[in-house]
Structure 1
Amino acid sequence: MKKKEYAVIGLGRFGGSICVELSKEGMDVMAIDVDPDRVNDYKDIATHSVIADTTDEKVLKEIGIHNIDHVIVAIGDNIQSSILTTLMLKELGIKRITVKAQNDYHEKVLNKIGADYVVHPERDMGRRIAHNIISSNVLDYLELSDEHSVVEVKAGDKMSGKTLVDLDIRAEYGCNIVAIKRDKEVLVSPLATEEIRKNDILIVIGADRDISRFEKNLVVDDD
């Protein structure tokens, strides 16, 4: 089976961190940027490092981008370059394209021209931090869509010793506990009779407004 190949275009903080993590996982990564200094920083990290203007279709063909399975466009503040690069990649038939968006307008354009996945790292991190500020028992927050999310919370005193039936979270809050992490054990689709223990990690899925009510009423810091 052929090993998947990745390319990261734009080696700022976001693109650079993706490049590092993919490389740590043993993936073949091509690191691309117009800035020679940035490319030089990743020559010993990525499988290949290339100085290139990715808004030029001829340049993309020359560096063999058409052989790449998944391209991550992480260009910083230059929205025009981000859009043009994504458009070129689509025309060259890249199988999967992930693009960093600067704002909602940028995201709309990227979706229209065929980006497979659009990310808002700053916005998404802001939401995660906001949920963590509400309670330090909120450990992680992942947006599934504009209105639905998955949140990872630590059970405190309000839930400890009670079963899922006792809490009746689905009826009360419209959320579902899809898994419980307890030490090294993971209970997937836990039974309604499962008793929650303090410091259990609950994986909860639901609409944002329902998760918000759940957090405010049950996921609070213990005094």
Structure 2
Amino acid sequence: THAVQCDASDIRTLQELGVQNMDVAVVSIGEDVEASVLIVMALKELNVREIIAKAVTPLHTKILEKIGATQVVYPERDIAIRVATHIVSPNIIDSLALSTEYCISEIPAPRGFIGKMLKDTSIRSMHRVNIIAIKKTTTEVYKGKTSIKEIVNVAPSGEDLVMEGDVLVILGREDDIEKLSNLK
């Protein structure tokens, strides 16, 4: 594997670089819509299998998808959604949408869960969500230097204890996660 940075607006340059033999091409030009469209078209013409392109507007996204970009990223929109989610739901640390209804979110462990085993929280029956991981932060001092480590317990069992400062990684419906994140 290797990465190439070049003026990709010239199809001959792309051919000389052997772009047609590459597995993935990333078009990170966003502001110059015309250039990004022309580059994606050239890559498609050269039969590049996977083309990831950056868009700056919803229309730009549609155009890139129509002409053959296999994945379109829209960083400004994605960040705006994350910021808006944090403003509306300040107790949700981070969230990843899986569909229009379901997501994976990180929330601080609710106070009522502290000191309890997962099986004693009745999280599935009462809150209709699943805990898929527990993140714990520990502080270590070694030779006078302090470091903070994050330990992630993936697929925790019902016997795992929820502690103060834990972050729960939860899978469920957005509205159910929102309700759980607001528990005191």
Residue equivalent to 1:63: 17
* Residue 156 of structure 1: how far off its partner (Å): 4.4
Instruction: Quote the RMSD (CA, aligned, Å).
Output: 2.6
Q: TM (normalized to structure 2)?
A: 0.74
| 1:164-210 CA distance string (max 9 Å, x none) | 33433334443321111223433221123433112112212233333
* Residue 146 of structure 1: how far off its partner (Å): 4.3
Matched, 1:93 2:59: no
Deviates further, 137-146 or 79-88: 137-146
Contact 1:156 1:199 in 2 (8 A): no
Residue equivalent to 1:162: 116
| 1:65-118 CA distance string (max 9 Å, x none) | 234332221212233332332222122122322222223333333333332222
Which 5+ residue runs of structure 2 have no aligned equivalent?
Answer: 138-149
**In 2: Cα distance, 1:60 partner to 1:173 partner:** 54
* Residue 159 of structure 1: how far off its partner (Å): 2.9
Secondary structure of 2:4 counterpart: strand
Q: TM (normalized to structure 1)?
A: 0.63
Matched, 1:81 2:35: yes
Residue equivalent to 1:125: 79
Residue equivalent to 2:174: 208
Q: For the pair shown, which has the larger CA radius of gyration, 1 or 2? A: 2
Q: Which fold has the larger relative contact order, with Cα–Cα distance below 8 Å and residues 6 or more apart in sequence? A: 2
Which 5+ residue runs of structure 1 have no aligned equivalent?
Answer: 6-28, 32-49
Residue equivalent to 1:148: 102
Q: Identity percentage over the alignment?
A: 37
**In 2: Cα distance, 1:30 partner to 1:68 partner:** 10
Residue equivalent to 1:174: 128
Secondary structure of 2:113 counterpart: coil
**In 1: Cα distance, 2:170 partner to 2:94 partner:** 11
Residue of 140, 163, 178 corresponding to 1:197: 163
Matched, 1:30 2:4: yes
| Cα 1:180–1:104 shift into 2, 3 Å | same
Contact 1:98 1:119 in 2 (8 A): yes
Secondary structure of 1:97 counterpart: strand
Count of residues in Structure 1 that have an aligned counterpart in Structure 2: 171
| Cα 1:211–1:84 shift into 2, 3 Å | farther
Residue of 3, 6, 26 corresponding to 1:72: 26
| Cα 1:167–1:99 shift into 2, 3 Å | farther
Residue of 63, 67, 76 corresponding to 1:109: 63
Secondary structure of 2:111 counterpart: coil
| 1:127-158 CA distance string (max 9 Å, x none) | 222333332x5332223344433222232424
**In 1: Cα distance, 2:102 partner to 2:39 partner:** 30
Residue equivalent to 1:40: none
**In 1: Cα distance, 2:84 partner to 2:121 partner:** 25
- Could you tell me which amino acid in structure 2 is paired with residue 201 of structure 1? V
**In 1: Cα distance, 2:177 partner to 2:57 partner:** 25
